[in-house]
A and B are shown apart, each in its own frame.
Chain A
Amino acid sequence: MRALFDGHLLTVLVFLPSAAAALLLLFPERRAREAKGFALAASVLELGLSLPLWTRFDLVSGTFQFVEKAEWIPALGISYTIGIDGISLLLVLLTTLLTPVSLLYSLTHVEKGVRAFSISFLVLETGVVGTLVALDLALFYVFWEVMLVPMYFIIGIWGGARRIYAAMKFFLFTMAGSLLMFLAILYLAVRNRAVTGEWSFLLSDLVSLTYPTMAIQTVLFAAFALAFAIKVPVFPLHTWLPDAHTEAPTAGSIILAGILLKLGVYGYLRFAMPLFPDAAIRYAPWLGVLGVIGVIYGAFVAYAQKDMKRLVAYSSVSHLGLVVIGIGAFTSAAMTGSVLQMINHGLSTGALFLLVGVLYERSHTREIADYGGIAGVVPVTTALFLVATFSSIGLPGLNGFVGEFLILLGTWTSNHRWWAVAAATGVIFSAIYMLSLVQRVFWNPLTREENRRLPEIRVSELVAAGVLVVLMVWIGVRPNDFLDRLRPSIEEVRRSVATRKVAAERPSRALRIRSGTGGVRRERSLRKARDSSPLRGSQ
C-alpha cells in the first residue's frame, strides 16, 4: 500500500476524486445527505493524501518531482507523464484545500440535484489537479478541457438568475481560446517529428524545438497566450468573468476564482514561456501593459458595483492584473510574488465569496444597499469578512502583503518602473473599494429592520472560512515556508527562457534544418547538448 502511494502519489491524487464521483453514481438519488457527506469525505481524504507532497518536497531542486511516466498512445509518442515543481505544488495544494472548503460550505446550502452537484465538483477536481501535474502537452490539453464540462453544469444548473447565459459564455470563451492552442500543440508535435524523426508531445522534448521563423514562433505563442489570457482573464478578454462569477453558486465561485483563473497564469509560466521564449520576451511589455489596464480598470469597475458578488468578481480582474504585471516584469522577485499572490488571491477571494454566500443565504439579496449596520448582529461573520478584506488589500501581517510587496519590488527593479507605480495605485484603489464595501455592509446605521434578526454563521461555514483565515495568517507571518518552495522552480523557468533566447538569436540555424539530413543531425546534437535543460525533469 505504501509502495503504491510512494510511486504513484500524483496519480492517486488525480483520479481519486473521479473514482469517488463514479461511486457516487451508485447512491440513490434520494440519499442527498449521505451523498454530500461522501463527497466531502472523499475531498478531505484527497487533502490528507496531498499533504505528503508538501513535506516530502525537495526544497533544493527546481526540477520536476514525484514524476510518473506511462505510455498512452505510443504510436504518436503521447504519454501519461506527470510531475510537479514548486509552482504546481502550491496550486495543487490550493486545489485540494478549496475543494473540501466549497463542499463543506455547500453541506447546508445546496438542495436540488445534490448527487450531481457533488459529482461535478469531484470531476472538476480531477480536471484541475490533472492540468497542474501534466507534463505532456496532449495530456495537459485533455485535462484542461475536461474542467469545462463540470463547471458548465455547476454554473448552469445551480447558478443564479442569468445562469444559462453565464454558463454558455464561460464555455464558449474558454473553448475559443483553447481550440487554437490545440492546433498549436499539434503543430509543435508535427514539427518535432520533422526535426527529430520521433513523435513526442512531452514538454521536455518540445522545449528544445527551434522555429523556422520568428513569425511562426509568434503565431504559436499567440495561440497559447490567447488560451491562457482568456482564462486569467487579461483585459480585454475578461467579460465572461463577472457573469460567470456572479451567477455561479457560491461553491462554484470559490473554485472558479480560487483555482481556475490561476490555471491561465500557470499555463503561461509552464508552457508558453519555455516553449516560445523569444516571443514571450518580445511581447512581455504588452502583457504588462494589459496587466496595468486590468488593475486600474478592474478596481474602478469594482468600486461602481452595487452587487457584493459582482464587486468581488471585478476585484479579481484587478488582482489578477497585478499577477500578470509580475509575470511581465520577469524579475525573480516579481515572478515569485506573482505565484504567491495567486495562492493569496485564492484564499482571500475564496473567503470573500464564501462570506458573501453566507450573507446571501440568510437574506436572499446581494445588493449592498440592502445591508448596513449588521456588525453587531453577526459579529463573527463581520470579523471573518474583515480579515479576508485585509488579506485582499494587502495589510502587513497577512498573506496579501507579501505577494503584493514582492510584485511591486520586482517590478520596480525591472525595466518597467512605471508599471510598479500603476500597480501601486491599484493596491490603493483596492483598499478604497473593499473598505467602502465593509463600511456599507457591516457598519453605517442599520436601516432595514429584518436585518436585526440575521442569523449568525453556522459551524460548518465557520470551519470552512476559518481554515482559509489560518492560512492567510500563516503565509503572512512565515512566507518563507512557501517562498522556499517556489524560488528554485521560478529560477528554472527564468533560466529556460534565458537559455533559449541566446540559442535562438542565431536564426540561420533554423533555416539549415530544412535543408536535408545534415541539418537534422546538427539539430539532434544540439538537442543532446541541451538535454540538461531544466525542464527535462528528474526522471
Chain B
Amino acid sequence: MTTSFLSFGPNDLAAAMPEIVLAATGCLLVLLDAFAPSARRWLATLSLLAVAAATWLLVAAPRGTSFAGRYETSDLTVAAGLFAAATAAIAILVAKPYFQRTGGEKGEFYALLLWGHLGVSLMTRGLDLLVVFIGLETLSLSFYVLAAFFRGIQASSEAGLKYFLTGAFASAFTLYGIALLFGKAGSVRIAALARPELATDPLVSFALLLLIVGFGFKMSLAPFHAWAPDVYQGMPTPAVAYLSVAPKGASLLVLYRVLTAVFQAGMPGRFQTALVVLAILSMSLGNVVALAQRDIKRLLAYSGIAHMGYVTIALAVFGREALAAVIVYFFTYVVSNGGAFAAVSALYRDETKPHPVGLLAGEGRRTPFPSAVLALCLFSLAGIPATAGFIGKFFVFKAAIEQGLYALAIIGVVNSLVSIGYYLKIVYVLYMREPLDQERPPTLAPADRLALGLCAAGILALGVFPAGLWDLARRAAASLPFGR
C-alpha cells in the first residue's frame, strides 16, 4: 500500500464534494440559528438547496474510485444517492409546516438531518468497512438526537434513550464483525474480502452474521426490530419519514456489497437459509403485529418491518438482477412510505399526543387531499397494481421465482394479504367513519401540499411506467463490483 489513508489529492476532494457540502451546510445552519435568528425562516430552503447541490455534484461527478479505492462513484452510488435525496427532500418539505404547528423549529433539526444524510451517503459510497462504519455512526448519532428532539415530551426522551442504547449495542456487533473480517483478510477494504478461501472460512461466516445483525438492526429487520415502534412514535414525524427509508436502503446496500465480495461463486446454502428465515420472520411478525396496532406511527413501523422482510427475499436470492429488484423496491418505498409519513405529519395537528388511527375518522371528507394521498400510499404499500408498491413487489417476487424459492414467494404473498387487513383499516377510518368534530380544519401548508403531490405523482408514475426505473436499477446493479 503506497498511499496512506491521510494522503489525498484534489480529485479525491472533488469526489467527496457532495458530503463536504452537506457537512458545511449543516454547520452553517447551526450557526445561523444561533447568531442570526432572523434567518430562521430560510433554514428549510437552505437545507433543500444543500441536498439538491449534493445530489447534483454526485450525479455530475466522474465515475470511478477515489481515496485509493476506498470511495466509489458509480451508477450504483448515484442511484442510492438519488433515492436518499428524494427521502431527504420529502422530510425537509414536511418539516417546516410541521414545526410551525408544533413549535420548536430549530436549526439543529435541519443540521442533524443533513448530517444523517451525509452518513447515509458515506455508507453507500464507502468501499472500506471503516468508511462505512463512520457513515453508520454519523447517521446514528444524528438520529439519536432527533429521536429525543422534543425534550419536554416523555415519549420523545424515551425514544431517544431506547434508540441510543440499543443502537450502540448494534454498532458494537457491526464493529466486532468488521474487526474479525480485518483479522482474516488483513484489510478493512471490501475488495480484500474477495478471496475464494474466505468464502468457506467459519470465522468469516461468523463475522458476516455479526454484520447482518448490526445492519439488520438499522433496517429494523426482525428479530432486531424492537426499537422501531417506540422510536417512530417519539421522533418528530418528518425525521421518521427519513429514518424509515434511507438508512434501511443504505444498510441493505452495504450488506449486498460485502456478501457479493465474499461469495463470488454464489451464496452458500446455509447463508441463504439464514436470510430466508429472517425474511419470513420479518414479514410475518411485522404484518401480524401491525394488525393489532392502534397508533398509526407504530402501525407504519411494523409495516416497515414487514417490508424489510420483502426486500430481504431479494438479498437471499442474491445476484445482480436481485440487487436491481432491491433498488426498484427502495425507490417505490420512498414515495409510498415517505408519502405515508408526510401525510401523517400533515393530518395530525397535535404533536404532543399519540397518533391513534381513530383520530383520522372522516378526514377523507374534511381534508380530502392529504387523506387521498395517504390512501394512495397505503394501497401502494399493500402492493395493489398500478401503484409503485406493486412494481417493487413484482420484481422481488420475480427474483424469488427465478431462483426457485417458491415457498418463500408463497409466504410472501400470503403476508401481502395479511397486510391488506391493516392498510384497509386506515382507509376505512378515513372514508367510512363519521368525522369526530365539524370544525373546519386548518388549510394545508404549501410545502405539505408539494410533498404530498410529489409522492402521489411518484406512486402513480412508477406504478404505470416502471420501465425507466428498471433500466436505471439494472445499470446501477451492473456497476457493483464482483458478483454475477
Contact = CB atoms under 8 A, between A and B. Distances in A.
Contact of B401 (A75, A176, A186): A186
Contact of A182 (B368, B379, B397): B397
B428 A164 contact: yes
Contacts of B406: 183, 187
Contact of A175 (B397, B401, B402, B417): B417
Given A75-B467, A145-B384, A172 B421 contact: yes
Interface in A184-206: 186-187, 189-190
Interface string B379-413: 10000111000100010011001100010011001
From A163, A167, A182, A189, name the one whose CB has the most chain B CB atoms within 10 angstroms.
Answer: A182
Nearest to A141: B385
Nearest to B410: A183
A168 interface: yes
A149 B379 contact: yes
B401 A190 contact: yes
A73 B466 contact: yes
A183 B471 contact: no
A20 interface: no
Contacts of B379: 149
A141 B390 CA distance: 11
A73 B413 contact: no
B345 to A, nearest CB: 24
A485 B327 CA distance: 48
A286 interface: no
Nearest to A191: B401
B385 A142 contact: yes
A148 B417 contact: no
B428 A168 contact: yes
A167 B420 CA distance: 12
Contact of A149 (B384, B409, B410, B466): B384
Interface string B408-442: 01100110110011001001100110000000000
Contacts of B401: 183, 186-187, 190
Contacts of B416: 179
Contacts of B424: 152, 168, 171
B365 interface: yes
B413 A180 contact: yes
Interface in A15-70: 29
A498 B246 CA distance: 54
Given A163-B432, A164-B432, A182 B413 contact: yes
Contacts of A157: 431-432
Given A152-B424, A156-B428, A179 B417 contact: yes
B482 interface: no
Contacts of A176: 417
Interface string A457-490: 0000000000000000000000000000000000
A18 B428 CA distance: 23
Nearest to B402: A190
Contact of A73 (B365, B384, B467): B467
B474 interface: yes
B361 to A, nearest CB: 13
A429 interface: no
B467 A148 contact: no
A172 B417 contact: yes
B470 interface: yes
A153 interface: yes
Interface size class of B (residues with CB under 8 A): 20 to 34
A452 B413 CA distance: 55
Nearest to B473: A75
A146 B421 contact: no
Contacts of B467: 71-75
A113 interface: yes
A76 interface: yes
B386 A186 contact: no
A171 B420 CA distance: 9
Given A179-B413, A183-B413, A156 B432 contact: yes
Contacts of B409: 183, 186
From B365, B384, B421, name the one whose CB has the most chain A CB atoms within 10 angstroms.
Answer: B384
A527 B457 CA distance: 42
Given A149-B384, A190-B398, A190-B401, A75 B471 contact: yes
Contacts of A142: 385-386, 390
A148 B413 contact: no
Interface in B446-474: 466-467, 470-471, 474
A186 B410 CA distance: 12
A113 B365 contact: yes
B277 to A, nearest CB: 20
A142 B432 CA distance: 26
Contacts of B414: 179
Interface in A151-182: 152-153, 156-157, 163-164, 167-168, 171-172, 175-176, 179-180, 182
Contact of B474 (A75, A146, A180, A189): A75
A149 B389 CA distance: 15
Contacts of B421: 168, 172
A76 B421 CA distance: 31
Contacts of B413: 179-180, 182-183
Given A76-B470, A168-B428, A182-B413, A148 B397 contact: no
A146 B428 contact: no
A172 B291 CA distance: 14
Contacts of A189: 398
Interface string A117-145: 00000000000000000000000011111
A363 to B, nearest CB: 26
B331 to A, nearest CB: 15
A276 B345 CA distance: 50
Nearest to A148: B384
From B385, B414, B424, name the one whose CB has the most chain A CB atoms within 10 angstroms.
Answer: B385
A209 to B, nearest CB: 14
Contacts of A172: 417, 420-421
Contacts of B390: 142, 145
Contacts of A164: 428, 432
A249 to B, nearest CB: 13
From B409, B424, B474, name the one whose CB has the most chain A CB atoms within 10 angstroms.
Answer: B424
Nearest to A158: B432
From A73, A141, A180, name the one whose CB has the most chain B CB atoms within 10 angstroms.
Answer: A73
A23 to B, nearest CB: 16
Interface string A322-348: 000000000000000000000000000
Contacts of B420: 171-172, 175
A75 B413 CA distance: 24
Nearest to A72: B467
A182 B482 CA distance: 32
B178 to A, nearest CB: 36
16 contacts: A75-B470, A141-B385, A142-B390, A143-B385, A152-B424, A156-B431, A157-B431, A157-B432, A167-B432, A168-B421, A168-B428, A171-B420, A176-B417, A182-B397, A183-B409, A186-B398
Interface of A: 29, 71-76, 113, 141-146, 148-149, 152-153, 156-157, 163-164, 167-168, 171-172, 175-176, 179-180, 182-183, 186-187, 189-190
Interface of B: 365, 368, 379, 384-386, 390, 394, 397-398, 401-402, 406, 409-410, 413-414, 416-417, 420-421, 424, 427-428, 431-432, 466-467, 470-471, 474
Given A146-B386, A180-B410, 8 more contacts: A76-B398, A142-B385, A142-B390, A146-B384, A149-B379, A152-B427, A179-B413, A189-B398
Pairs of residues from A and B, 8 with the lowest C-beta to C-beta distance, nearest first: A142-B385, A179-B413, A145-B385, A186-B401, A73-B467, A156-B432, A190-B401, A190-B402
